[in-house]
Structure formats: C-alpha cells, structure tokens
Structure 1
Amino acid sequence: MTNPAAAELIARSNRLGADPKNTNYAGGNTSAKGTETDPVTGEPVELLWVKGSGGDLGTLTEPGLAVLRLDRMRALVDVYPGLDREDEMVAAFDYCLHGKGGAAPSIDTAMHGLVDAPHVDHLHPDSGIAIATAADGQELTTTIFGDKVVWVPWRRPGFQLGLDIAEIKEKNPQAVGCILGGHGITAWGDTSAEAEANSLWVIDTAAAYIAEHGRPEPFGPPLAGYAALPAAERRAKAAALAPTIRGLASHDRPMVGHFADHDVVLDFLASSEHPRLAGLGTSCPDHFLRTKVKPMVLDLPASASVEESLARLKELAVSYREDYQAYYDRHATPDSPAIRGADPLVVLVPGVGMFSFGKDKQTARVAGEFYTNAINVMRGAEGLSTYAPIDEAEKFRIEYWALEEAKLQRMAEPKPLATRIALVTGAAGGIGKATAKKLAAEGACVVIADLDLERAQAAAAEIGGPDVAIGVAADVSKEAAVQAMVDAAVLAFGGLDLVVNNAGLSLSKTLLETTEADWDLQHDVMAKGSFLVSKAAAKVLIEQEMGGDIVYISSKNSVFAGPNNIAYSATKADQAHQVRLLAAELGQYGVKVNGVNPDGVVAGSGIFASGWGANRAAVYGVEEKDLGKFYAQRTILKREVLPENIANAVFVLCGPEMTHTTGLHVPVDAGVAAAFLR
C-alpha cells in the first residue's frame, strides 16, 4: 500500500507536470518525507520519496519514485569529499536506499534530502527560467518576490547545490523558494498542498511580472521578408525541405524528425533579434541536453525558393558540424566522453517552422517542445533585461558530464528498426495492418495509409498512437493523393526509410466476364498505384541520402497461372517486374527493392471478405469458410498462410540481416511447387 506522503507526492507531481507552464516533459523533480515502519526492526524510520532519474512528473507513478532512508542520506554530509569529487556522491545514494529502493536516484536527490522541509519541488517553468537567465536576474528576483524567494548563483546540479539550498532555507526562514541562476526554481512547504501552492505562486508571480513589465517587442522589430508563409504554402515547403534536412541531421546516426509551425516559433523567426538569440543557445540543462547547445538557423527569408533553401542548408550543415567540433575540442579533457555527434538537433527555417530530431519520435517531439520553452524563456528575459544563459564551458560540463554519459549507457539497446520510418499502403486491415504492427514492434515509426481514413486512424491508435503510428487517407491510384500521403509521412516523422506497396483488390472473373473497367480498376490500384507510390517515395529516399527499402506485396499468382483471375494475376506480374526494374535503378542510391509472394491469405483479408473469397471458393468447389484450409492442403507444408507470415517476411527483407539483398521475391505460400521461382 502506498504511504500517504508518497501518494500525496504522486498526485502533486501529476498536477504540476500536466501543465507545461510549470515544467517541461521529464524535467524537474519533486519529493516528500514521511515515516514508515522498518520491517526488520519494527521501529519507525524516516524516508525520502523523490522522483527517480529520467521520470516525468505528469505521468509519475509509484515505481518511478526512489525511496531512501533520510538519516543515511543526510549522513553523507559527513563524508562529502568536496566540490571536485561531488559526483562520487551519486553512487553513495545506493547505500541509502530503503528496501529495493525503487527507481534510480537522480543527481538532484541531495537537494530534496538536505533541504529541511517535508515537501520540495524543483521545476523548470519558462517564467522562472526567464528570471534565472536575465543578466540582472538577482536584482529582478528581489524586485519581483521581495525576501520570499532567494537568488542562488548558477551551480551545476549535484551535492553542493543541495548543501547551498539547504543553507539558504535555514538562513531565510521567511522564504518559500529560490531562483536557481541559469536553471529553474525550487520551492518547499510543510505540507504537500503548501509546497504546490508555493511553486505555483513563484511561477505565476514571475509570469505576471513579465507580462506587465516586459517590452512589447522583446525579440526586436519584425524582419522584412521573414514573416510566416500562409499555412498551406509553408507546409508544402516544409515537406519539400524535410527529407534533405533529415539527411543532414542524420550524418552521424539516423534520426527521426518532428515538424512544428506554431506561432511561438514563427514569430521568433520573423523578428530581427532571432539570429543573435539563437546563437546564444539554451540555458536550462534540461533544454540543451535535448536540443544541443544551439540550433541551426537558415539565414534566408521566407520567400527563398526550395532550391535556394536546400543549397544553403547544406552549406550551413557543414559549418554547424565544424563549429560543434570546435566547441567540443575547446572544452574536452582527456577523461571526457567521446563526441556524440556534431549534427544539429533543431533546425529553424524562417517563414516555415522548426524541425527537431531524436532517436525516436517522442524524443524528436520533446526536443522541439524544449526549444519552444527556450524561446519563451528568451522572450521573458529579453522583455525585462538581456538574455544571458550560462556560459559555454558550463554547458559542456553538463552535456559531457560523466553522470549523463552513465545515464545514456544504461539505456536499453535499440530495436532492429529503431529510427526507421515506414509507410504501408492498404494498412487498415489484413496483411497491411499485420505488417504495420510488426514493423512498429521492431522499433519503426509507421504511417498507415488506406482509402478509409477512420479505419487507418483506428489502426494507428491500436498500434501505439502518434509517437509510433499515424493514419492517413490515400487513393494510391491518384498521383496527387499519393504525394499528399508522402508529404504527411515526412511532416509526421521527418522522412521515409521503408515503403510497403500493399494496397490491392481483386475481382475473381473469367476472361469473358472481365470488363475493361475491371481491368483498369485493378491495374490502377496495384500496377499504377505501386508505381506512383514508389516514385514519390524514391524522391524522398534519394534526397535523404540514407538508403532505404521498398517492398512489394505481390503474389504467387505473379508466376502461377490460376483460373478466373486474369486481371489480378496480370497486375501482380506487373508488380513483380517493377521490383526487378527498381532494384536495378535505385541500387545506386542504396535503396533495396524486394518482393513478397504470398499464397491466398484468407484470415483478416479485406479482399477475401469483399467477395473474392466466395468467388474463389466457388471456383474450387469448397465452402467459403473452408477456403483457408483448402489452400493449406494444396501446399507442401500443409499450413495456412496468415497475415503475420507476410509481415515477418517484410521485416526480414528490410531488417539488419538482409543488407545485401535486392531484386528478390520471397515466396510465403507454405510451398506451392507451381509457383517456385525459376
């Protein structure tokens, strides 16, 4: 059963973390102190519950809390070896854990344990960081809060900062919290409600002061030619730029992208001071750990053409990498972790918006949210004073901190398709849905395209929601619809890596019964549709310069002459030869093109459910419900082919073990000798 103090802490944390004005995702930490019975001695023991390393306040649950014995944690003061060795104290926290200890204690644990208050909140609100990063932040703190909030000069998070804040609390009994220079806020209270109220008072008081006293144009006057493009125009330009930008951001390692074009970003980029402020970088450690010390900014007006913008972005990427390498070289010591890559994580394009990148969609999205926080911080600081983030050397000490490196090393190994972005057509059900689920389970982000938008969106929600999968409507037989589908994919996830041509339908008719309309319909969807999808996708793959995969879901009927399906089998043969043609053409770009040849897949099939099954059953003289069993009995292995079998084959073709295979057709038919490839 959850201790009442811990239960109050979780509820408070969730409320604070649910509102972005209070803190950023996974930023800040909260704590509570209380008493439990020691199961060994039967005596009461005072405990500290504190949000563990890497957790998020808005979604915090009991397993996300670290639980420490307060007496042992505070006894660490007596063995503290000093500022030069304070990192050693993090390992010492493990000897203070109560029972199994819960989550791993974070670097801020000392702050919570040493401050003499039952409840403590450490948060990263935009309004508080604006004061913390203002050039005259100390004076502003006194002006805004009087003696209720105390200024703490910048100090890297750690044991010494905990000692400093504990001393401030002791010497200022009237204070309810403090502003941490360059960083954030800390507040406390005798009860959970009081701590929460004090935190919100600090946040809201700072915000109100900024709103009342801030300059009307904190980022300077508008910059001619840099205003936001109309919505449709800027999103079209964003889609045209996205593949190249993703490729530039993936020079060192593949990245997933996120695009944002909200007013906060567009207004910042339309202002005259944005180049100076962007160059100063972010300040709060949580911000620049996600965004790098500064973004890459396109220095062209919104009216610049796509071609001009792409050429300049490529030049800027070279400069950015050189600049980041120089930053690393200026500050690295012999024991610094190796450079983690010199690519930008945030790219700003005036008039268009912000592209942010990470190891997965959530990380990319959060990086963009953090830079939005940074813009809000700069607005507040510039409105009252001058934005003055912590200096470069301090940023490096945190970015390449041994403790941060250790946290990265503890992360789970990525899944085989991590960072890969897949587009599957006809994916709301059957083979397409099974394939989308398999690719997502192996780490890919997935775009589920289907004629039925509602079903596509439902499938995406089932697979994992917008950080994993999105649903889009697409008629693959229409070029404009295909381009819109691909644009949606690159705006959602930054680009494309893996395309599965699965959309299809079939009409089971004899030659004489097959009409011209029947022939055209099936060829439009499968032969022309696959061509249109491959063409639009290949443009993205080539621009990214990251290679990729195109997989066709063809059929055993592409090589096997079965009765009463002239149009279907002919178009499947067309798809089969597209595989060979595109494999030969796209190989120079590192793009592999392969196919899968299933036998009839009855289970979960939209094609079979729409009348094809009944027709094929009639052709073979069996009940429709027994069609899957009939197909199984005519195979060598006597096994029914299921959607999941096709999905597994797609994964193998585009997975890490098949990097040197292109132009191949893989039969997934349980063994149909007449369909053996020759």
Structure 2
Amino acid sequence: MTNPAVESLLKRSNRLGADHRNTNYAGGNTSAKGTATDPVTGDDVDLLWVKGSGGDLGTLKEQGLAVLRLDRLRALTTVYPGVDREDEMVSAFDFTLHGKGGAAPSIDTAMHGLLDANHVDHLHPDSGIAIATAQDGEALTATIFGNKVLWVPWRRPGFQLGLDIAAIKTENPQAIGVILGGHGITAWGDTSDEAETNSLWIITTAEKYIEEHGRPEPFGAPLPGYGALAPAERRAKAAALGPSIRGLASTDKAQVGHFTDDAAVLHFLEASGHRRLADLGTSCPDHFLRTKVRPLVLDLPADSSVEDSLTRLRELHEAYRTEYQAYYDRHAAPDSPAIRGADPAVILVPGVGMFTFGATKQTARVASEFYLNAINVMRGAEAISTYSPIDENEKFRIEYWPLEEAKLARLPQPKSHAGRIALVTGAASGIGKAIATRLAAEGACVVIADLNLENARTVAAELGSTDTAIGVQADVTDPAQVQRAIDAAVLAFGGLDLVVNNAGLSISKPLLETTEQDWDLQHNVMAKGSFLVSQAAAKVLIEQEMGGDIIYISSKNSVFAGPNNIAYSATKADQAHQVRLLAAELGGHGIRVNGINPDGVVRGSGIFAGGWGAKRAAVYGVEEDKLGEYYAQRTLLKREVLPENVASAVAVLTSDALSHTTGLHIPVDAGVAAAFLR
C-alpha cells in the first residue's frame, strides 16, 4: 500500500511536471516527509521521499523516488566538511538510505531534507528563471514578492545551498519560497496542496509582473532580411541544410538531430539583440547541460542561398570548435573530466529555425525544448531588466562537474545502432516491417516508408513514440515522393545513415503470358524504385560526410533461374548488380552497399499474401498454406525462412561487425545450392 505522503507527492509532481511553464523535462525535484514503519524494529521512522537523480516530474513514479532516513540525513550537518568538499556529501547520502533506498539521491537532496517543511518543490519555470537571471534580480524579487519570497545569490547546487535555504526559512517564517539566483525557484508548504499552491503562486506572480511591466520588444527591433521564410520555403531550406549541419555537429561523435521552426525561435532570430543574447549563453544548470555553453548562430539573412549558408556555417563551426576548446582550457583543472566534444548542440538559422543534437532523438528534442525555455527566460529578463546569466567559470564547473560525469557513467551502454537513422521502404508489412522492428530494437531511429500511409503510421506507433519511428507515404516509382520521404527523415531525425530498399511486388507468369505492363510495373517498383531511393539517399549521405549503408533486399532469384518468373527474377538481377555498381561508386565516401538474397519468405510476406503465393504454390503443385514447408524441404538446412531472419542479416550487415564489407550479397535461404554465389 502506497504511503499517503508518497501518493500526494507523486500526484503533485505529475501535475507540476506536465506543464513545461513550471519546469522542463527532467528538471527540478519535489519531496515529501512522513513516517513509515521500520521493518526491523517495528517503530515509526521519519523519512524523506525525494525525486531521484535523472528522473522527470511529469512521469515520476514511486520507483523514481529516493527514500532516506531523515534523522541520519540531518545528522550529516555535524560532519559536513565545508563548501570546498561538499561534493563528498553525495556519496554520504548512501549511508542515510532507508531499506533499499529507491532511486539514486540527486545533488539537490540536501535542499529538501534540511528544509523544515513537509513538502518542498524545486522548479525551473521560465518566469522564475527570468527573475533569477535579471541583472537586478534581488531588487526585483523584493519588488514583486515582498517578504513572501526571498533572494538566494547564485550557488552551485549542493549541501551548502541546502543549508542556506534552510537558514533563510528559519529566519523568515513568513516566507513561502525563494528565488535562486541564476537558477530557478524553491517553494514549500506544510501540506502537499500548500506547497503546490505556493509554487504556482510564485510562477504566476512572476509571469504577471513581466507581462504588466515588460518592454514590448525585449529582444530589440526586427533586423531587415532576418524575418521568417514562408512555412514551405523554410522547411525546404531546413531539409537542404540539414544533412550538412548534422555532419558538422557530428564531427566528434555521431549525433541524432531535431528541427523546429517554432514561432518563438523565429521571432528571437529576427530581432536585433539575438546575437548578443545567444553569445551570453543559458544560465539554469539544466539548460546549458543540454544545450552547451552557447549555440552556434548563422549570421546571414534568411534569404541567403543554401550554398552561401553552408559555406558560412562551416566557417562558424570551425571557429566554434576553436572557441570551445579555449573555454575548456581556460577552466579545466587537473582533475576535470576530459572534454566531451567541441561541436555545438544547438545551431540557429535565421528565418528557418533551430537544429539541436544529442546521442538520441530524445536528447536532441529535449535540448530543443530547453533552448526554447532559455529564449523565454531571456525574453522575460530583457523585458524588465537586463539578462545576466551566471559567469562562464560557474558554467564550466557545472558542465564538467565530476558528479555529472558520474551520472553519465551510469548510463547503459549504447546498442549497436544507437545514433543511426534508417529509412526502410515497403516497411508496413512482411520483411520490411521485421527489418524496421529489428533496427529500432537495436537503437536506430526508423522512418517507415510505405505506399499505404495509414499502415506506415500504425507500424511506427507500434515501435514507440516519434523519438523512435515515424511513418511516411512513399511510392518509390515517384521521384517527388521519394524525395519527400528522405526530407522527412532529415527533418525528423537530422539526417540519414541507413537505407533499406525493400519495397517490391511479384508478378508470377510465364514468358508468353507476361505483358509489357507487367514487365514495366515490376521494373518500375524494384529496379527503378531502388535506383531512385539510393540516388536520393546517397546525396544526403555524401553531404553528411559520415559514411552510411545502403541495403538491397534482392532475392535468390537474382542468381537462380526458375520457371514462370521472368519479370520478377530479371528485376532482382538488376537490383543485385546495382549493389555492385554503387559499392564501387560510393566506397570513396565511406558508404557501404550490400545486398541480401532471401528465398521463399512466406509467413508475414505482403507479396505472398497478395496472390503470388497461390501462383507459386500452383507452379509447384502444393497447397498454398504448405508453401513455406515446401520451400523449407528443398533447402540444405530444411528450415523455413522468416522475415526476422532477413532482419537479422540487415542488422549484422549494417553494424560495426562488418564495417569493412561492401559489394556483398548474403544468402538468407536456408541453403539453396543452385543459388550459391560464385
């Protein structure tokens, strides 16, 4: 049975976290104090339940709480060695845990445990951080809130900050919370409802003050030529710039991207003050941990050509890397963690929007959300004062904090295809669906491309959220639809790493019954379709300069001659030779091109379900539902080939395990001697 204090804490946390005006993803923490029975003594024991390290308020569940003995936590004040050694207190929290302790305690645990209040909220609302980062934030706090909310000068999160806030509350019994300079807010209450009410009062009071007293154009007057392009034009430009931008952002390590043309971003980039403010960087620790110390901003008008924009972006990227290395060198101590890479996490393009990057789609998207929060913070601070974030040295102490490094070290090892972006054609059923499912399971972001948009979206939803997969419509015989599918991959995930030419159909007829229309349809879908997809994909792969993979799902029939199958087998042979031709042409760009030759994939196959199975069964004189068994018995291994077997081959071929392999065809046919490659 859930403790009542925990139940109210979780409900409050989820409500607060659901609104990103209150706090951003994984930002802030909440707590509750209460009693529970000690299973050893049977006595009541006072406990603290607090959001654990890395959790998210909006989705917080009981297993995401750290559970600590309140008496032991507060006893740590007697052994606290001082601010120069306060990081040691995080490991000391382990000796205060109750039972198994739940989630790992965060650095903010002391703030919650040492404060004499039953319920505490520490949040990162845009309006609160706007006050916290205003040049005269202390005076504004007094003006806006009176003595109900007090000012705490910037201090890095930790044990000393917890002591400071606890002392302020003790000395000011009328106070309901504090503004943390450069950081956020903390509020408290005797009940969960009171804490939530106080938190929301601080947030809405700050919002109201900014709205009523703020300047109308806090970012400055619009810059001529920097206004937003028309929606279709800016998304087309984003798709054109995207691959090269991702390549720049992946100089040190491959990154997944996210693009947004949110109105707040476009308005910020249109204003005359955007360069000054962007250079100042973000302030709240949660913001710059995910967005880096500052973004890269293209300093060209919105209508600049793609070629000019890319030329300038390359120059700015080189300068950014040099400056970031200098930033690291200025502040790094002998015991600082190694530099994590000098590429920007946020790239802003006037008139177009914002590109953000991370190890996964989720981290890239969250970086985007955090920089949107930062824009809102800058707007609020500039409206009523001057934006004044914490200084660079303090940012470095957070960004390269050994405690943050330890948190990163606890992350699970990435899967084989983590950070890779795949597009699979014909992926709404059969072999294509199995391939998409396997690639997603291995950590890839996947674009499900299919003639049937509804089915494509259904499969994408089955694989997870849009952080994992999206569904798009693509008739591979239509160059415009192919390009739209490729552009969708770029806009959704930043670029492209892996393409699987799987879309197909089969017309099973003897030579004299095969019409010209049959021949053209068969070749248009598979030979021409594969060519069009590979051509559009190769352009992205080359622009990214990150290598990549192109896979053709060919067939045993590409090398084996069977009866009544002239159109299908001929087009499969065409695909097979495309593999060799493209491997020879694209190898210089680090792009591998390989093929897979399945045979007789009956179960789950869209081709077989479309009537081809019945025709092949008639050719071989077996019942249609026995066709898979028939194919299995003619193989050396006597095993039926399933879509998942083909998917496994794709996963291996596109992994680092075969990083030096190109121009290869892998049979997945359970052993058909007549189709052995020579």
TM surpasses 0.5? yes
- 2:147 equivalent in structure 1: 147
Q: Which amino acid aligns with 1:624?
A: E
Aligned residues: 678
Q: Which amino acid aligns with 2:170?
A: E
1:667 positional shift? 0.2
SS at match of 2:658: coil
SS at match of 2:562: coil
1:656 positional shift? 1.3
Distance 1:436 1:58 in 2: 30
- 1:395 equivalent in structure 2: 395
SS at match of 1:657: helix
Q: Which amino acid aligns with 1:535?
A: Q
Q: Which amino acid aligns with 1:224?
A: P
- 2:245 equivalent in structure 1: 245
Asked if 1:652 is matched to 2:648, the reply is no
1:121 positional shift? 0.1
SS at match of 1:560: coil
Distance 2:435 2:213 in 1: 56
1:480 positional shift? 0.6
Q: Which amino acid aligns with 2:138?
A: Q
- 1:131 equivalent in structure 2: 131
Alignment of 1:559-638 (within 5 A): 559-638=559-638
- 1:227 equivalent in structure 2: 227
1:582 positional shift? 0.2
1:70 positional shift? 0.1
- 2:158 equivalent in structure 1: 158
Q: Alpha-carbon deviations, 1:96-129, whole Å to 9, x = none?
A: 0000000000000000000000000000000000
1:465 positional shift? 1.8
- 1:272 equivalent in structure 2: 272
Q: Alpha-carbon deviations, 1:300-353, whole Å to 9, x = none?
A: 000100000000000000000000000000000111111000000000000000
Distance 1:417 1:426 in 2: 21
- 1:174 equivalent in structure 2: 174
- 1:341 equivalent in structure 2: 341
Q: Which amino acid aligns with 2:39?
A: P
1:464 positional shift? 1.2
SS at match of 2:226: coil
- 2:214 equivalent in structure 1: 214
Asked if 1:369 is matched to 2:374, the reply is no
Distance 1:538 1:255 in 2: 19
Distance 1:98 1:563 in 2: 73
SS at match of 2:595: strand
- 2:89 equivalent in structure 1: 89
1:589 positional shift? 0.2
Distance 2:518 2:310 in 1: 44
Distance 2:266 2:348 in 1: 9
Root-mean-square deviation (Å)? 0.4
- 1:554 equivalent in structure 2: 554
Q: Which amino acid aligns with 1:179?
A: I
Alignment of 1:249-398 (within 5 A): 249-398=249-398
Q: Alpha-carbon deviations, 1:11-55, whole Å to 9, x = none?
A: 100000000110000000000000011111111100000000000
SS at match of 1:116: coil
Distance 1:126 1:309 in 2: 32
Distance 1:655 1:352 in 2: 34
SS at match of 2:49: strand
- 2:529 equivalent in structure 1: 529
Asked if 1:441 is matched to 2:422, the reply is no
Distance 1:313 1:98 in 2: 53
Any stretches of 5+ residues in structure 2 without a counterpart? none
Query: 4+ residue stretches of structure 1 with deviation over 2 A?
Result: none
Distance 1:388 1:486 in 2: 42
Q: Which amino acid aligns with 1:78?
A: T
Q: Which amino acid aligns with 1:649?
A: A
SS at match of 1:512: helix
1:280 positional shift? 0.3
Q: Which amino acid aligns with 2:488?
A: A
- 1:494 equivalent in structure 2: 494
Distance 1:99 1:491 in 2: 47
1:562 positional shift? 1.0
Distance 2:33 2:405 in 1: 30
SS at match of 2:663: coil
Distance 2:479 2:451 in 1: 14
Distance 1:563 1:61 in 2: 61
Distance 2:639 2:298 in 1: 57
Distance 1:15 1:518 in 2: 59
Q: Which amino acid aligns with 1:209?
A: Y
Q: Which amino acid aligns with 1:37?
A: T
1:565 positional shift? 1.1
Q: Which amino acid aligns with 1:89?
A: M
Distance 1:432 1:168 in 2: 62
Distance 1:551 1:22 in 2: 46
Q: Alpha-carbon deviations, 1:635-657, whole Å to 9, x = none?
A: 01000000000000001101110
Distance 1:206 1:514 in 2: 75
Distance 1:158 1:130 in 2: 22
Distance 2:129 2:77 in 1: 29
Alignment of 1:49-64 (within 5 A): 49-64=49-64
Distance 1:531 1:400 in 2: 47
Distance 2:407 2:598 in 1: 45
Q: Which amino acid aligns with 2:114?
A: L
1:375 positional shift? 0.1
- 1:39 equivalent in structure 2: 39
